[in-house]
Structure 1
Amino acid sequence: MSAFAIGKAVEPKALSRDPYRIFAEMRAKEPVSFVEAFGLYYITLHEDVSAVLRDDVTYGVGSDDMLVFDTFGRHMMTIDGEEHNRYRLAMRAPFTVKYIRERLETQIAEIVDALIDGFEGEGRVELRSAFACRLPVQVMLAVFGLPREDEPLLRRWYDAFEASLGNYEWDEEVRARGKHCVEEFKQHLQMRLDEWRGKEGEANLLAALVNDAPERRLSDEEILRNALIIFFGGISTVEALVLNAFYALAHHPEAFARVKADHALIPTALEETVRWLSPVQAVTRYVRKEASVRGVTFKEGDIVNCMIGSANRDERVFAEPDRFDISRPDLGKHIAFATGPHTCLGLQLARAEGRIALSRLFTRLDGCTVDLDATEAPEGYEFRQPRELHLVWNARQ
């Protein structure tokens, strides 16, 4: 067999349709593989993915040719070390369990119920457009202290950011639209920073940042750049989490029935969802100095993709990894939110949104289930979710 035979054979469309068969073959025969179609290495074993993500000396997050850097500029997801720690420490307050429980959970429940009000009487809904893509936008508005009337504006910006971050062909029109929306976003938030500067008592992230102690305070530009990545990440992950949970449960009716009957099982169902159908499939790192994994040597400047989706189905870590099991004892070993210094800052908020969303949907939509004939299968080899998911239930007359 020639070197990296599996990697050479990878075809992007096939990978997007069904990555797990390819990941399993790589784990068994080629755990570190050069994927010719993308010009980078795939690392597929849980042990190796975890080790690389924890080593920010050898493997860095930043490069000027990153789409996320080109779109958003310098922020906590494109830097390592002390500067990263400074940004993360400043931005973390709304993402702690205590803050979420005391200040955000009630707002999340109100947002969820208001969205359900819009379709409860219909008996059928396309969940992504009516709920899953709207919930995290409105939660981010609450985190930033922006009015709900800003939702269409933020959704337009998000769509432009998503296109720009997936612009692997470097289409100049897509790139320009993304950059234009970045500037609009920053100008919009700058007005709020100016409004709240020097004022006490505003309970939102932007007000807290602009009035932080001088020795910790970020510049306005630093606040705005980091707000961009928090906004984008806070929407994409939650949207996928809700849709993937319903998709996974619909394909496992026994688990679906258990969770609907006992909402205390929702948190573990969500954890198994992010393991079995990880919203983020890949995390990219840039090699800073020569290193090797499983006998494959990387040189400085090489790009490696840490395949979260593969690591979370590694048979060395998870018993029967392709089986969806909300009772599995090894569930806590998943790394769906990454690991190491760049572990997802908003993971606790995502969990809270997912938990409250499923609980209220199950409570208010009697007998809700997924119309699998109308629902699209998940797709994507970096970010994975169904593009459409149709719920049906017994509408109250």
Structure 2
Amino acid sequence: MDVSEAIAVLISPSGRLDPYPTYEQLRAHGPVSQTTAGLFVVTGYAEADMVLRDPRFVVLDDDLRDDVFPHWQDSPAIKSIARSMLRTNPPDHSRIRRLAAGAFTPRRVAAMREVVTAQADELVDEMIRAGRDGARVDFMDMFAYPLPVAVICALLGVPAADRSRFRRWAGDLTGILEPEITPEELAGADAGADELRDYFTGLIEQRRRAPADDLTTALVQAHDADGDRLSGEELLANLVVLLVAGFETTTNLLGNGLVVLLTRPEAAAALRDEPDLAPGYVDELLRYDSPVQLTTRTVRESVSFAGTELPAGSWLLVLLGAANRDPRRFPDPARFDPGRAQSQPLSFGAGPHYCLGAGLARLEAQVAFPLLLRRLPELALAGRPSRRTRLTLRGYETLPITVGAVTADRGTPAGVAPGTP
């Protein structure tokens, strides 16, 4: 199978459901390969890490977007992503990111451990009530979505009563991040973007009238004090992206990770008995089945990279999920091994665009998995989980479970230090 054929398989519905065999087909062509259409595909860990850190490789910003998508401003979905830190390059990216970064410092993230633990305990209580007498419950609906959305909404100052509204809107909007999108999917993404933009337009006005101790207020005040620091369109777009990115990745991490653990009872038992192993487990879960599988970069000028000449304007498809299974970096990469030393998966990226909320996502998972396994020692799959047909953001649509017998104690086990994730 040549590179172009492998990419066609990868973006097909079946390829999206299980991309890992196709990654190995691509890896056979080297850590950097090229399709007949001129797309460069990066599967190697070292090569992907370099692309993400090297300033010669840039994201699709406004200057480049005008050439590729002349009518991009007609799409609310593209516009929402385009004006966010996700799709800006320095110096604009640095300026925008700096305004939001204060909410995600290691100290502030560590201080949220008790809040995350309390929220996770409440959700387990609800699963126990719903799953009594052996009834099946959907882990995605009852835990994997509500935990991270509650945490990011608390940071942004979104009222608890509004949290249930965002899952469908965000799910539609993130279709814009896929390598290919149909006109119908784009229409759905635009509709989701419109709903989210309307919501945050209202929240912005509320915070102007009644400031609060939250990230939305901080960004509104930054905009109102100096529009050159943060424009009105950037304010709106970044609130949308902070919300969506704040739970989409973590929701997928929790779902993907639980399936890995429940299908490996010995690994689950070890984490149940020693919850302080959670950081290593979470990093290995991120590596083994990354909730973010790919990103893209381009070059403005010709670049010599990994023995390959990239002409100006070349596009690179950086397959994070493949890089996380590069045998040159991770021996026996198809094996789940939470004892790997210094795993450092690329699931949250690297370099200037390293995920702003990576520490928070890790904290939520480090709290959630030991807590679930300890309070629900008979937690089990109750049928075949259903994958979303997405490649970029890999996760489950439904994940049926039974809770089984439960333990009465709540909270963080004794001896687990509430340290920085």
Partner secondary structure for residue 197 of structure 1: helix
After superposition, the C-alpha distances for 1:196-216 in whole angstroms (9 at most, x for unaligned) are: 33766x221011222349468
Whole-angstrom CA distance in 2 between matches of 1:377 and 1:181: 21
After superposition, the C-alpha distances for 1:250-303 in whole angstroms (9 at most, x for unaligned) are: 232221110111111122111100011111111111221112434433222222
Q: Which moved more, 1:276-285 or 1:108-117?
A: 108-117
Aligned to 2:415: none
Kept in 2, the 8 Å contact 1:143–1:204? The answer is yes
Partner secondary structure for residue 230 of structure 2: coil
Mark the CA change 1:87 to 1:61 in structure 2 (over 3 Å): closer, same or farther: same
Aligned to 1:387: 397
Kept in 1, the 8 Å contact 2:83–2:233? The answer is no
Kept in 1, the 8 Å contact 2:109–2:360? The answer is yes
Aligned to 2:201: 190
Whole-angstrom CA distance in 2 between matches of 1:138 and 1:212: 24
Kept in 2, the 8 Å contact 1:31–1:43? The answer is yes
Whole-angstrom CA distance in 2 between matches of 1:287 and 1:304: 9
Kept in 2, the 8 Å contact 1:58–1:289? The answer is no
Mark the CA change 1:35 to 1:239 in structure 2 (over 3 Å): closer, same or farther: farther
RMSD: 2.8
2:113 to 105, 108, 130: 105
TM-score by length of 2: 0.83
TM-score by length of 1: 0.88
Whole-angstrom CA distance in 2 between matches of 1:55 and 1:69: 25
Mark the CA change 1:267 to 1:391 in structure 2 (over 3 Å): closer, same or farther: farther
Aligned to 1:279: 291
Aligned to 1:7: 4
Q: Percent same amino acid among aligned pairs?
A: 29
Aligned to 1:320: 332
After superposition, the C-alpha distances for 1:36-67 in whole angstroms (9 at most, x for unaligned) are: 6x973211111111111112334334342389
2:258 to 220, 232, 246: 246
Q: Which moved more, 1:247-256 or 1:65-74?
A: 65-74
1:138 equivalenced with 2:150 (yes/no): yes
Kept in 2, the 8 Å contact 1:289–1:299? The answer is yes
Task: Quote the offset at 1:87 in angstroms.
Answer: 0.5
Aligned to 1:74: 83
Mark the CA change 1:35 to 1:392 in structure 2 (over 3 Å): closer, same or farther: farther
Aligned to 1:178: 189
Aligned to 2:300: 288
Partner letter of residue 257 of structure 2? A
Aligned to 1:56: 55
Task: Quote the offset at 1:164 in angstroms.
Answer: 4.3
1:86 equivalenced with 2:83 (yes/no): no
Aligned to 1:24: 24
Partner secondary structure for residue 118 of structure 1: helix
Aligned to 1:345: 356
Partner secondary structure for residue 338 of structure 1: coil
Task: Quote the offset at 1:71 in angstroms.
Answer: 4.8
Task: Quote the offset at 1:379 in angstroms.
Answer: 6.3
Partner secondary structure for residue 391 of structure 1: strand
Partner secondary structure for residue 122 of structure 2: helix
**Which blocks of at least 5 consecutive residues in structure 1 are unaligned?**
none
1:265 equivalenced with 2:277 (yes/no): yes
1:355 equivalenced with 2:366 (yes/no): yes
Whole-angstrom CA distance in 2 between matches of 1:217 and 1:341: 18
After superposition, the C-alpha distances for 1:11-33 in whole angstroms (9 at most, x for unaligned) are: 13353243223323433433222
Kept in 2, the 8 Å contact 1:120–1:364? The answer is no
Kept in 2, the 8 Å contact 1:210–1:217? The answer is no
Mark the CA change 1:5 to 1:239 in structure 2 (over 3 Å): closer, same or farther: same
After superposition, the C-alpha distances for 1:346-383 in whole angstroms (9 at most, x for unaligned) are: 10111111122223322332322334x43346864322
Q: For 1:186-225, list aligned pairs within 5 A.
A: 186-197=197-208, 202-212=212-222, 214=225, 217-225=229-237
Whole-angstrom CA distance in 2 between matches of 1:391 and 1:105: 26
1:115 equivalenced with 2:112 (yes/no): no
Partner letter of residue 41 of structure 1? F
Query: How many residues of Structure 1 are paired with residues of Structure 2 in the alignment?
Result: 388
Mark the CA change 1:212 to 1:148 in structure 2 (over 3 Å): closer, same or farther: same
